[in-house]
Amino acid sequence: MLLLPFKISFTNRKLKIIIMKKITLFLLFISINIYSQYNYFGTDMIPNAESSQPRDLTSFNNKIYFSATFKKTDANGGVYYDQEMGYFNPTDNSYGQFANINAIELTSAGSAPRNFFEFNGHLYFIASSGNNLENRELYRTNGVTVELFKDLIPGTGSGFPQGSSPQFTIMNNKLYFFARNDAQTGDAVLWQTDGTAQNTVVVSTIAYQNFYGLYKNCVIAFNNELFFCGSLNLGSEVYKFNEVTNTTTLIKDLFPGTNSGVPSEFAIFNDELFFVSFTPSYTGKRKICKTDGTTAGTTDVLDAILFSHTPTGLTVLNNKLVFVAVNPATTKVNLFKCEFNSTLSNYAISLVKEFVEGQNLPALILDNKTFTLFNNELYFVASQNTDPNNGGIRQIYKTNGSTAGTVKAIAIDANQVGSNQIVVTINNLFTFNNKLCFGMRDLGTADQLWISNGSNSYIEKLTNVGNGLPQEPFLPDNETVINKLYVAAGSSSPFRGEELWQIEDASPLSNEITNTYSTFLLYPNPTQGVINVQLQNSVEFTVEIYDLIGKKVGQFSNQNQLDISNYNAGMYLIKITDLQSNKMTTQKVIKQ
């Protein structure tokens, strides 16, 4: 049955509310201005105060898929709850359970689908068919039916134990992932598939050392080889798999003996692979290393600083590798850069900006998404002792990679969050239709989503939920559902559970830029002929260029410079598809 709770439309300064179910509106703006026009639609998969808690949102075939809790009734009329695969169709706003993978009632906890990933016309994911999340194996759907794609460990064993991450990676039109192949050892090894079950095989028995995600970015495709953090009697070190020779090679024993370098934070910069590793000289210290894929070409960055905490967020910006780390000189978390020094003929690391922390919070947040690219600058959350409440109220800063260009972008004061708030954090920093979104506490006690143009000249509250920050902010990466943001949120009046919400930006500016790939640069814009393309952590991508009537006028593959000097002057739409993650981004470019 199609459930339509309600729909809300904001049109300039006039508020139009269409009540489609007797319910009190809970998503409101604190102000409505000429810059924004948002339409809201809320689902109600478990009516009233109970929550479906949608998680792991992804887009596929013009629909949104996710894992959610569904309320069910057994043969005796008893009520129980299962985690299964749900869907939302933006075309007609229909939604519900898409598949019932685990049909065991009462004791199964459902299939708990996770790790959705698109490859060759199918959406792959991990799900359980046994009791208590046992039998977690590889499934896929074409958007119509769901099938068990490969039972990696037959019986009650799981190829993907609960909490593990397969690290799906596309290389040369094959899908690679890590999973167990032995129920006894529990080691995760490298698998390869071309999309057929018979050709889904183990290609390397080197044990993957980040199966449960303790470290970040431990797998990457680089120069047609797959690099990963592996172990074979030498601790955790950097290995590579070569598809042509079907061999796995230890690049270098960075921490000799049975100790572990634990390579992580892989990032491609200037045609070399940079990463973080433990150093054998100083216990517990980390350093920045680089490799060209050979043992001889795997070295420390010149005079590498030894950090006491893993440097994180390695991001390419303006011919620099920017990251956050603990400054060993001050033991404070600060902003650094690595760049090529022509005088030294080598790379060198230097401090970009020191953030002097206050009494209430560390100066910089070390989280899973340290930087967000917006208007060709990196935005991040930080505070200093000079910020409100002695650094307790976080601020939004931005950087172009230089000290002078690292400044406060959005100043948050006590009047916006309440003068009684000693500590206020900011999180979930992301872009939505050329606007900057972030989570922050409002004047009450709840965290909300806010939207800005990247400065204090325009900032407003996007949600007004009753309790807790809206979860799972998700931007679809296909063209049919652009200009739409999806979040899981609840309401307090009346009290409703956490459900899926669609927020559509229908403003005149919403079609200007669609950026779903957060570490993407396209410059200069406007251009007189040559456009530079920069994607972090990607060596395989396609570029398509369209004129404004939709005609494709150019196509490129894996080219970081596009020559459009022979194009007529005007505006063009450039679509870039990252073949490793299957993410897409489009941006308008002006040819002068």
DSSP states of 375-435: TTEEEEEE--TTSGGGGTB-EEEEESSSSTT-EEEE---HHHH-TT-S-B-EEEEEESSSS
Residues near 64 by beta carbon (within 8 Å), at least 6 away in sequence: 57, 58, 87, 88, 89, 90, 474, 476, 481, 486, 500
Residues 488, 585: one domain? no
Give residue-wise pLDDT tens across range 342-387.
888 889 999 999 887 655 444 555 445 678 888 889 999 888 877 7
Does pLDDT of 305 surpass 90? no
**Mean pLDDT, range 86-100, rounded to an integer:** 94
What per-residue confidence (pLDDT) applies to 269? 92
Last residue of a domain, one of 457, 484, 515: 515
**Mean pLDDT, range 26-30, rounded to an integer:** 28
Contact 135, 157 (CB under 8 A): yes
Closest CA to 399 of 457, 313, 322: 322
Q: Is residue 367 part of a domain?
A: no
Does pLDDT of 241 surpass 80? yes
Q: Is residue 6 part of a domain?
A: yes
More confident residue, 339 or 534: 339
Give residue-wise pLDDT tens across range 383-401.
887 777 777 778 899 999 9
Give the HSE-up count for residue 152: Cα atoms under 13 Å, Cβ half-sphere: 32
Triad 376, 382, 386: Cα angle to 5° = 120
More confident residue, 490 or 374: 374
Residues 485, 587: one domain? no
**Mean pLDDT, range 25-41, rounded to an integer:** 46
pLDDT-based confidence at 234, cuts 50/70/90? Answer: confident
| Segment among 44-48, 84-88, 296-300, 395-399 with least mean pLDDT | 44-48
**Mean pLDDT, range 203-214, rounded to an integer:** 88
| Segment among 16-30, 202-216, 341-355 with least mean pLDDT | 16-30
Q: Is residue 318 part of a domain?
A: no
Last residue of a domain, one of 515, 548, 579: 515
What per-residue confidence (pLDDT) applies to 479? 45
**Mean pLDDT, range 485-507, rounded to an integer:** 79
| Segment among 103-112, 371-380, 461-470, 512-521 with least mean pLDDT | 512-521
What share of the chain has pLDDT > 70, as a percent? 79
Residues 505, 524: one domain? no
Residues 137, 57: one domain? yes
Residues 549, 505: one domain? no
pLDDT-based confidence at 7, cuts 50/70/90? Answer: very low
What per-residue confidence (pLDDT) applies to 97? 96
Residues 526, 497: one domain? no
Does pLDDT of 286 surpass 90? no
- Amino acid identity, position 329: A
Residues 548, 510: one domain? no
What per-residue confidence (pLDDT) applies to 114? 95
Does pLDDT of 265 surpass 80? yes
First to last CA, the chain: 53
Residues 46, 115: one domain? yes
What per-residue confidence (pLDDT) applies to 243? 95
Does pLDDT of 539 surpass 50? yes
Contact 86, 45 (CB under 8 A): yes
Triad 120, 561, 273: Cα angle to 5° = 70
pLDDT-based confidence at 205, cuts 50/70/90? Answer: very high
Residues 534, 493: one domain? no
pLDDT-based confidence at 16, cuts 50/70/90? Answer: very low
What per-residue confidence (pLDDT) applies to 559? 79
Distance CA 126, CA 138 (A): 5
Does pLDDT of 298 surpass 50? yes
Task: Read off the pTM.
Answer: 0.79
Q: Is residue 339 part of a domain?
A: no
Contact 36, 508 (CB under 8 A): no
Q: Is residue 306 part of a domain?
A: no
Q: How many helices (H) and strands (E) does the chain have?
A: 1, 46
Distance CA 543, CA 442 (A): 41
| Segment among 41-55, 285-299, 545-559 with least mean pLDDT | 545-559
More confident residue, 433 or 95: 95
Parent domain of 135: 1-158+470-515
What per-residue confidence (pLDDT) applies to 397? 92
Q: Is residue 149 part of a domain?
A: yes
Residues 483, 577: one domain? no
Total number of domains in the chain: 2
Does pLDDT of 475 surpass 80? no
Residues 489, 559: one domain? no
Residue 579, domain CATH: 2.60.40.1930
What per-residue confidence (pLDDT) applies to 32? 28
Determine which helix (DSSP H) or strand (DSSP E) holds 440, and give its type and residue range: strand 436-441
pLDDT-based confidence at 425, cuts 50/70/90? Answer: confident
| Segment among 187-191, 266-270, 548-552 with least mean pLDDT | 548-552
What share of the chain has pLDDT > 90, as a percent? 34
pLDDT-based confidence at 491, cuts 50/70/90? Answer: low
**Mean pLDDT, range 263-292, rounded to an integer:** 86
Residues 493, 548: one domain? no
Q: Is residue 50 part of a domain?
A: yes
Last residue of a domain, one of 460, 484, 515: 515
pLDDT-based confidence at 8, cuts 50/70/90? Answer: very low
Q: Is residue 2 part of a domain?
A: yes
Does pLDDT of 62 surpass 80? yes
